Amino acid sequence: MLLQVAAVVFGALLVRGDGIVPGPVFYGADPMGAQQKDAMTCDPMKFTMCKQQFITQLNFTTPSTYTDLAHQIGNLMENQGVPGFNALCGAMEDFVFCLGLGNDAAVSACYNVPYLVSQGVSAAEAVGEVGLYTGLRFQCGAGYQVMLNNYQCIMTVSAQQAGAMQTCQDAFTASMQANPNNKCTNLGILLDCDSSLYAPCSQQTVWQQCTTMTSNFFVAMPDCAATVSCSGAGAQYPGKVPVQTTTAGPQTTFLYSASIDDQGRPWNPAYGDISSPTAQSLAFLYSREIYQTVQSAFPTATIQVTGFMQVKTYTRLSATIRIHLLGEQTNVPTAAAIQAAIIAGAAANRFQWATITVQSQGAPTPAPQVGTSQGWEDAAAMFASSIDVTVDPCQDFFKFSCGQWQATHPLPAHANSVSNFGQMYDDLLGQVATQLDNYKDDGSSYSLSQAKVFWNICLQSPNMPLSGQSVISMLSTLGGWPMIQQSWSDNQMTEIGQLMGKLTSQYGLNTFLSAYVDTDWKNPTNWLFYVDQATLFYPTVYYQNSQISNAALTSEGNYMFGLAKQLASINNQLNGAAMPTDAQINKDVNDVVQMEYAIAMKMKSDDDRRVNARMYNKFTMQTASTRWTFLNWNNYLTSVASNYFSPTVVTQGMFDVQELEYMDSINTMLGQYPKRVLQNYFMFRLVDTQASFLPDLKDEYLKFKHETEGVTALPPIEYSCADSLINAMPYIGGRLYVDSHFKHLRGDPRGGLATMTVDVQNQFRVMLQNLPWMDQVTKQAAFDKLSNYVRNYAFPDWLMNNTLLDAVHPKMFFNLSPQDNIQAANTKLIQYNNWYQFRTLAPGFPVDRTSFVSTPATINAFYAPEFNSITILAGIMNPPFFRADFPQAVNFGGLGLVIGHETTHGFDDQGVQWNGVGNLTNWIDNQSNTGFKAMAQCVIDEYNSFCYPNITPSCINGVQTQGENIADNGGIRAAYYGYKSQIALRGPEPRLPGVMSQYSMDQIYFIAFAQGWCENASPQRISRQLLIDPHSPGEWRVKGAVRNMQEFADAFNCPAGSFEAPANRCNVWH
C-alpha cells in the first residue's frame, strides 16, 4: 500500500520495485547527455543542509535511497491524510526557499542528473532522485488544487487499483522490448493506461496523475517531452485518437465563499519569465498556505478550492481564492473567524491584500475552553508560582511576571545571582553528574571513559589538595615569580614573545596579545590565525571607567599581594628561600597595576569594536616584524603553534592583526618597563588561574570574589566538577547530557524545533518585506541572507556515535591518567582544547558552516555571523522556555523568542556586516543604512534611560547593548507573529487551568516571554553586567521589549502613557 500511496506523489511507476529501470539503463536518450547543468553552480554543503532540514522537518529518518524516502512519504500521506500532505508541501516549500529563495536556477543546479553523478550518485539513483523532486514540486505546485479536492479518492484508487497499475507497467515493458524505437508512443500509452484509472475521481485528476508521471519519466526519457503531453482525458501522444471530454457539473452549495484580491508583488526576474511554468508553480506554492490556514483552523469542514494565484500583469502576481465549506457543519465559525484565518495565511505568505469579502451562514464559535492536559496543568502551575498579581503589568511587567518568583529565590552563598537560566543549568549539571556517577566503562567509548577519569580526579581534589610547591615548580620553569623572591635577575626571563606564546599554548592564558582561529572573514571557506589586543585581568572597561577603576585596581592589588605573600611563605618553608619584605611586594604590586592600567588605556573599548572591517588587517611575519619590534614574532608564533599545527602556516603565511593602533602603542610602551615588572605580571596572571585549586591560596581567592562579586563560598563540588567537565570537554559533556535528557523522550524534539524555527523566520521575512525604510534591492539581499541561514538544532547527529566522538578526542592530545592531580588534568585539557582550535589551520582543513558553536550542554543559543548560522542548543529546550506538550503560546513566548532573537542577530548592527555565506561585506545601501541607524539610535537612546539609582554605573550602556536589545525587540515580534500564524492554522488554544484561566493566551505569550529572565542579582553582579555585558539586565530585557509592542498593550489593555505603553515607541524591524 505504501508504494502505491507514494506513487501518487512522484509517479505511479517510479517507486515500484527498484524503479522504472533496474540499474543504469535508460530508454532512449541518455539523460546524462540530454540534461544540461544549469548555469548556476550547486553549493553542496547548502544542498546537504537543506535536504536534512526537509528530513528533520517531517520527522523522517535519513533515507539511504530515493526509494526509501518514497516509502516514508507514502507512510506520511496514508497515515495523516491531507494534514500530512500539507506538511509535506510545507517542507517542500521550505526546502526550495532554503536552497535558493524559490529560484529554480539554484535548485536545478543541484537537482540534475549530471551534477548528482559528479557527486558519486549512481546514474539510476540520480534519475530517481531528480524525478522524486520534480514530482513533489508539481504535486505541491500546479497539481496541488486537484490533489486537495480529490485527496481521498486518489488515495483509494491508488490502493485498490495496484494490480491494474502493474498490468499497465507490464504492457509498457513488453512494448519496449518488442519495439524500443516507438518509446514515446509506448510511454504515452502507459501514461494513458495508468492515469485513466483515476477517472472516477475527476477528469482533472486524470490530468494531474498523468502530469505527475511525466515529471518523472521525462527525466529518464527527456526526448519524449516534445511529443507526449497530458490533458484532462489522459496522455496525448503520436497516433492517439482524440477523446471527447465532459465538463464537470456545478459545485455543491457552500457555507462560505471568500475572495482575496491581492495587490500583487514585484516579480523577481531571476525566477524566469513571469508567464513561465516556474512562475505558475511558485504561485501555487505561495497560495497553498492560505488554503492551509482555513483547512487547519476548521478541521471538521470539507473544503473545496477554486481559483488560485494567477499572473495579473507582466511584472506582478495577483490572487483570487474562493474557499467553499460544503455540507452541514457543527460549531460553524463566524465570518470574522474565517476572514481572520485568511488574513493570517496571507500575512504568512507576504501578501499585501486589497480586499477580502466573506459570505457566510452559521453560528458563532464557542468561547475557548480550559485545557486539562498535563502540559497545560504544569504551565499553569509554573506561571501561578511566578507572577505577582498585586503589580500592574502596564507599569512594571517584569515585577508582575516575576515578583513572586523573586520572593521565593534568594541568592545562594556561592553565587551573585539566581535566575531561571541558572536553575536550568543547575538541573543540567545534576543530570550530567548522575550520568557520570552511574557510568560503567565497558570499553565502547574512549572519550566517555576519559570523562569518568576526570570526574573521579575532580571529586577527589578536596581530599588530595595540591601543594604550593607544585605551583612554585611550575613558575620556576617559566623564569620564576620575582615578587615572591628576595632576589631575581633579568636574565631569568624568557624572551617576551616566546613566553606569551607558551602561556597561550600550554595554559590557555592570553596576556598582552590574544590569539585565536576563525574563518577568514573575507574568504570564509578558509581558516585564519588572528592576533588581537590584550586580555587583561579585568575586562577593558574596568580600567577605562573612572567611576570604578580605582576600586577595581585596589581589589586587584590586594589580591595580588595576598597571593604573593602566601606563596613567598610556602617558598620559604619548603625551599628555604629568603622572604621578600612587605614593602618590596607592595612596590612590585603597584608597578604591575600601573603598567596594566597604562596598557588598558591604549586598548579599544567594546563600543569601538563594533565595525569588523576595521579589524581585518592581514600581515606576514616579515611585515609584522618590521612594524612591531617589541617581541620576536617567530618565537611567538612558533610557541603558540607548539605541537598543534605547523608553525610555517603562520610564519610563512598570512595572519590578521586586529588592533593596529594598540599594537603601535605597546610597541613603544613595553620597552619602557623593566623585565621584572613584565615577569611579575605574567606570573601573577598564571597563579590566578591556579588559586581556586590550592588550599593555601583559596582564602585569598574567596576574599577577592566576595569583594568583587559578592559571593561567600564555592559551589558544591559535584556541580563545580560537572561544570569544569562541560567546559573542558564540551562535546563529551553534551553527549552525557543528551544521553540523560533526550533518550527518555518519545520522538525527536528537534522536529518541532525545526517547524517553530521556520515559522518564526518566515514571520521575520514578512517584517523585512514591510519595512518602509529599506529599498527593494536591499530587501532582496536580506532575503538572500535569511534563506542562507544554517539552522543547528539541539545537538549534532554525530555526537551519538562513539566512533565519531572518539575521533575528535585522539589519545595523542586527550590522555588523562587516574594518577593525575586536578592541576595536571586541567593543564592537559587546556592543551587539548588548544589543539582542537588550532588544528583547523592545517592546510585544506574544511570550513563547516553547520558546525555547532558550543556544547549542547548549555542553556543558550547562538548566532555565528561568520557561518551565518543559528544554533539552538539542547540545554535550552526545557521549561520555562519549551516543553513539547506545553501550549504553543508558552513555547513561542519562550523558545520562539530565542529563535527570533538569534535570527534577528543576523541583521543587528554587527550582523548586517556579514552576508549569507559568512563573508564580511557590505550589502545594505546608503538609504537603507540610514534607516537602520535611525532605528538603532532609537533603541540606544531608550535603553540609555533605563537606570539603577543605587548602583555604579547606574544606567545601561545603550551602545554596548544595542545588538542584543535590537535582537530582543525583533525576536519577540517575530515569535509573536509566528505564534499567531500557528493559531490561524490550528485554531485558538484552550486557556490554562486554575487561576491562570483569567489570562488570554495572548497574555500568556508575554508572561512566558518574561519567565526566561526572572532573576535576583547582587549589586556587584548588576554593576559588572552594566559594565561589560552586551545584554541588558533581565528586568530591562522584559520591560524594554514589551513596551515597544502595541500588541502587548492591546493584550493587557494598557492605558496610553503608562510605562509599558509609551506615546513614542521604537519601531524595531517594524
Where residue 312 falls among pLDDT bands split at 50, 70, 90? very low
| Upstream peptide bond of 880 is cis (omega within 30 degrees of 0) | yes
DSSP codes, 46-101: HHHHHHHHHHHHTTPPPPSSHHHHHHHHHHHHHHHHHHHHHHHHHHHHHHHHHHHT
Say which amino acid occupies 1059: F
pLDDT in tens, 387-444: 999 999 999 999 999 999 999 999 988 888 999 999 999 999 999 999 999 999 999 9
Say which amino acid occupies 386: S
Please tell me the predicted confidence (pLDDT) of residue 869.
Answer: 96
Average pLDDT on 804-827 reads 94
Q: Grid coordinates representing 489?
A: 635577575
Q: Grid coordinates representing 485?
A: 623572591
pLDDT at 295 over 80: no
pLDDT in tens, 589-630: 999 999 999 999 999 999 899 999 999 999 999 999 999 999
Mean pLDDT of the chain: 83
Task: Report the CATH fold assignment for 755-792+852-1052.
Answer: Collagenase (Catalytic Domain) (3.40.390)
pLDDT in tens, 913-935: 999 999 999 999 999 999 999 99
Q: Distance between CA atoms of 1007 and 893, rounded to whole angstroms?
A: 8
Of 881-890, 984-993, 1040-1049, the least confident: 984-993
* Per-range mean pLDDT, top range of 148-157, 602-611, 748-757: 602-611
Where residue 296 falls among pLDDT bands split at 50, 70, 90? low
Number of alpha carbons in the 13 Å side-chain half-sphere of residue 222: 14
Q: Which residue has the higher pLDDT, 144 or 983?
A: 983
Where residue 301 falls among pLDDT bands split at 50, 70, 90? low
pLDDT at 13 over 90: no
pLDDT in tens, 173-210: 877 877 777 788 888 888 888 888 888 887 778 888 88
Q: Grid coordinates representing 499?
A: 613566553
Please tell me the predicted confidence (pLDDT) of residue 87.
Answer: 78
Where residue 172 falls among pLDDT bands split at 50, 70, 90? confident
The answer to whether the CB of 144 falls within 8 A of the CB of 89 is yes
Q: Which residues of 460-496 are buried (b: 16+ CB within 10 A; e: fewer)?
A: ebeeeebebeebbebbeebbbbbbbbeebeeeebbeb
User: Which residue ranges make up each domain of the chain?
Assistant: 2-236, 257-359, 413-466+713-744+797-841, 467-693, 755-792+852-1052
Where residue 559 falls among pLDDT bands split at 50, 70, 90? very high
Architecture, CATH, for domain 467-693: Orthogonal Bundle (1.10)
Q: Which residue has the higher pLDDT, 151 or 840?
A: 840
Of 281-290, 547-556, 567-576, the least confident: 281-290
Q: Which residue has the higher pLDDT, 52 or 530?
A: 530
Please tell me the predicted confidence (pLDDT) of residue 453.
Answer: 98
pLDDT in tens, 762-780: 899 989 999 999 999 999 9
Q: Distance between CA atoms of 914 and 784, rounded to whole angstroms?
A: 12
Q: Grid coordinates representing 392?
A: 500592574
Where residue 335 falls among pLDDT bands split at 50, 70, 90? low
Ramachandran bin of 102, using left for φ above 0, alpha for ψ from -120 to 50, beta for the remaining angles: left
Which residues, including other chains, have CB under 8 Å from residue 139's CB and lie 6 or more apart? 8, 9, 10, 89, 147, 212
Nearest to 919 by CA among 777, 788, 1030, 792: 788
Please tell me the predicted confidence (pLDDT) of residue 29.
Answer: 32
Share of the chain above pLDDT 70, in %: 82
pLDDT at 269 over 50: no
pLDDT in tens, 212-261: 888 777 777 777 877 788 876 677 666 565 543 333 333 333 344 444 44
pLDDT at 1035 over 70: yes
Q: Distance between CA atoms of 394 and 453, rounded to whole angstroms?
A: 54
Positive or negative torsion for Cα 402, 404, 407, 410: negative
Average pLDDT on 63-85 reads 82
The answer to whether the CB of 939 falls within 8 A of the CB of 1065 is no
pLDDT at 529 over 60: yes
The partner residues of 654 in beta bridges, in order of sequence, read 620
Please tell me the predicted confidence (pLDDT) of residue 19.
Answer: 25
Nearest to 1030 by CA among 939, 948, 955, 960: 960
Which residues, including other chains, have CB under 8 Å from residue 373's CB and lie 6 or more apart? 885
Architecture, CATH, for domain 257-359: 2-Layer Sandwich (3.30)
Where residue 161 falls among pLDDT bands split at 50, 70, 90? confident
Where residue 679 falls among pLDDT bands split at 50, 70, 90? very high
Where residue 323 falls among pLDDT bands split at 50, 70, 90? very low
Average pLDDT on 498-512 reads 96
Average pLDDT on 51-60 reads 85
| Upstream peptide bond of 462 is cis (omega within 30 degrees of 0) | no
Please tell me the predicted confidence (pLDDT) of residue 186.
Answer: 80
Where residue 283 falls among pLDDT bands split at 50, 70, 90? very low
Beta strands in 100-254 (DSSP E): 229-231, 234-236
Q: Distance between CA atoms of 587 and 585, rounded to whole angstroms?
A: 5
Please tell me the predicted confidence (pLDDT) of residue 289.
Answer: 55
pLDDT in tens, 703-748: 998 888 888 888 899 999 999 999 999 999 999 999 999 876 666 7
Q: Distance between CA atoms of 433 and 909, rounded to whole angstroms?
A: 40
Q: What is the pTM of this model?
A: 0.70
The answer to whether the CB of 392 falls within 8 A of the CB of 1059 is no
